[in-house]
Structure 1
């Protein structure tokens, strides 16, 4: 990590501040005769995922593309995707507690995530909108992590120079990208290093 003092925190959403229980999603796949994780794997196909998180297509258009690739009847595919999307995850209590402690300690917190235009409604539904100082969305920026431009714009949005920002993400490739952009960065694998992160940010 950087030797400069961390004065702000940028934190990822999916896999960090929001966690997903695979059970409801797998239940939908089994109901429609799809293999477990088929919907997620299709959704993450780079040729449709990238435009969905860079503002080139809407979340609804992304969902239609996912449905079109499923090996089942088109009407059933559309229904399966709609059912799959009903579950929106839940806040991770440990990550949320960290965010609250960091803000209580006088540090700004920004949510920095690859997302679609569904991000802000999701944050409202999860009760996370007011838990951070700023939301940095790849869909709105038109550039996704780990591009250097994303991190530059994220630091600008939170009003802190890269060398004074701690970035937390669950994707090692993104963490490496953040470090290359001059940020201190930590790969989230769970709550066991929260005390370290608080020390880096100098909050009790």
Structure 2
């Protein structure tokens, strides 16, 4: 495939453009006296996370509920609040190689960020210097449904006036990629920047 073979690129954020170090959350557990893995388990508990990324609760409410869950499970309200405070400072790191690839793609076709995200996404993009890196942004907490729901990708394609069947979707979650293909989009399961470069037909080097 080459960039000339599609009319828009729809790209995930976390795990593709923004990378997280799981050790940082475990370090917060240790620093606040919580059992290893407690913060991640509370934050990414599926029903709570789904409420946050579909906009049923705000980012602030999500973090408040994470603190409450930690306190209820482990009995220390102060430790729970401290853990969430430290976690909330983290913004991850940007993969400059992927950013450069997307910049190259934008010379030919528009790039839409498509993220299962909370209401903090826009602030995070500004903090990471990514607020001008896309032609459009689809934040699932703003539209009320999240990947793998195909409506997310149809909304993303619509933001730049593209036919979904003429879009390439890039995501690191296999289930999201499979759902995109089932919905008629072309899709690339992201694993490495080199793999994405090859999928885009970017010249070597």
Contact residue 53 and residue 140 of structure 2 kept, 8 A: yes
Structure 2 match to 1:78: 81
In 2, the alpha carbon distance for the partners of 1:152 and 1:37 equals: 36
User: Which residue of 2 is the match for residue 17 of structure 1?
Assistant: 17
1:72 and 1:102 mapped to 2: Cα distance? 50
Offset, 1:84: 1.2
Once the 2 structures are TM-superposed, how far is the Cα of residue 82 of structure 1 from its aligned partner? 0.9
Contact 1:25 1:87 in 2 (8 A): no
**1:15, CA displacement in angstroms?**
0.5
Q: Is the 8 A contact 1:8 1:166 kept in 2?
A: yes
8 A Cα contact 2:170 2:189, kept in partner: yes
**What TM-score do you get using the length of structure 1 for normalisation?**
0.91
- Do the aligned partners of 1:165 and 1:183 also contact (CA within 8 Å) in 2? yes
Residue 22 of structure 1 deviates from its aligned partner by 2.8
By how many angstroms is 1:34 displaced? Answer: 2.2
Paired positions, count: 198
Residue in structure 1 matched with residue 37 of structure 2 by the alignment:
37
1:197 matched to which residue of 2? 199
* TM alignment of 1:59-98, pairs within 5 A: 59-70=59-70, 71-98=74-101
Please state how far the C-alpha of 1:159 moved relative to its aligned partner: 1.5
Q: Structure 2 unaligned segments of length 5 or more: list them.
A: none
State the distance in 2 between where 1:34 and 1:95 align.
35
From 168, 183, 186, the counterpart of 2:185: 183
Structure 2 counterpart of 1:50: 50
Aligned-partner Cα distance in 2 for 1:144–1:123: 19
2: CA distance, partners of 1:38 / 1:188: 28
Note the aligned Cα RMSD (angstroms).
1.6
| CA deviation after TM superposition for structure 1 residue 177, in Å | 1.0
Stretches of structure 1 that go unaligned for 5 or more consecutive residues are none
